Amino acid sequence: MTDLILTTFDWVPEVPRGYVRDIRVRWALEEAGLPYRVESVSFRARNAVHFSHQPFGQVPWLTDGDISIFESGAILLHLGNRSEALMPADPRRRSEAIEWLFASLNSVEMASLPWSIFAFSGYKGDTPGWKRLDEFLQARLKHMEPVLAGREWLAGNFSVADILMADVLRLVDRFDGLAGYPACRDYVARATARPCFVKAHADQLAHFAAAD
Ligand SMILES: N[C@@H](CCC(=O)N[C@@H](CS)C(=O)NCC(=O)O)C(=O)O
């Protein structure tokens, strides 16, 4: 019997498969070697129990015994506190991992997510809206490029910061947004070649395919 339960949707459409944020949690749990099980909630009918765990009716959330946590960043911080495979013990490195974890979400994903939604919706083109979003993303990537050219992982050893940053950049790469940023691309390739990512990705695809 495990105390860790990851909840995701029972099914999602084809396009987001492989990119649903439960992959961040699966990946972290695999890296830490923590036993867990996966439960599902309905994608089509979101009930009060769902909203009591995730106030926006989204996924993922994690329960650890009687603690229920939503927001993928908060979940990864929680797991980082349980395993040195996810967050270094050294205070300086730990602080670096935490700052990069927030930077992934609050500096890079803040720019990359609207960009990806536009790209996915086919709104790329010579419009002021697209140009503004693209400039916003380039302003972040041009600073990530020298950071990632100079180090293998963000905070010394691989950590939760890398799970988040690689997952954020992976979505940009899906829409060819890293073409001018070889160090960012290499970093995504390095992170997603890790056996724990490969397993997490395969497990997510299998989970949603089982509901087809
Ligand atoms: N900030 C949240 C975002 C969660 C999120 O966007 N989840 C998506 C799946 S990747 C979702 O539930 N989408 C369905 C919806 O928004 O209705 C997190 O990182 O956990």
Gap from CA of 15 to ligand 1 centroid (Å): 14
Q: Give the residues surrounding ligand 1 with Cβ less than 6 Å away.
A: 20-21, 57-59, 71-72
Q: Give the single-character DSSP code of 137.
A: H
Q: Which atom of ligand 1 is nearest to the CA of 57?
A: 17
pTM of the predicted structure, to 2 decimals? 0.97
pLDDT tens for each residue of the chain, 212 residues long: 569 999 999 999 999 999 999 999 999 999 999 999 999 999 999 999 999 999 999 999 999 999 999 999 999 999 999 999 999 999 999 999 999 999 999 999 999 999 999 999 888 888 999 999 999 999 999 999 999 999 999 999 999 999 999 999 999 999 999 999 999 999 999 999 999 999 999 999 999 999 98
Q: Which residues of 121-134 are buried (b: 16+ CB within 10 A; e: fewer)?
A: eeebeeeeeeeebb
Helix (H) or strand (E) holding 6: strand 4-9
Q: Sign (positive/negative) of CA torsion 19, 22, 26, 31?
A: positive
The rounded Cα 159 to chain-centroid distance in angstroms is 13
Ligand 1 pocket check: which of 59, 70, 105, 160 to mutate, most ligand atoms within 8 Å of Cβ?
Answer: 59
The three-state secondary structure class of 39 is: strand
- Dihedral in degrees, nearest 10, Cα atoms 144, 121, 117, 21: -100
Is the preceding peptide bond at 60 cis, omega within 30 degrees of 0? yes
Cα-trace Rg, the chain: 17
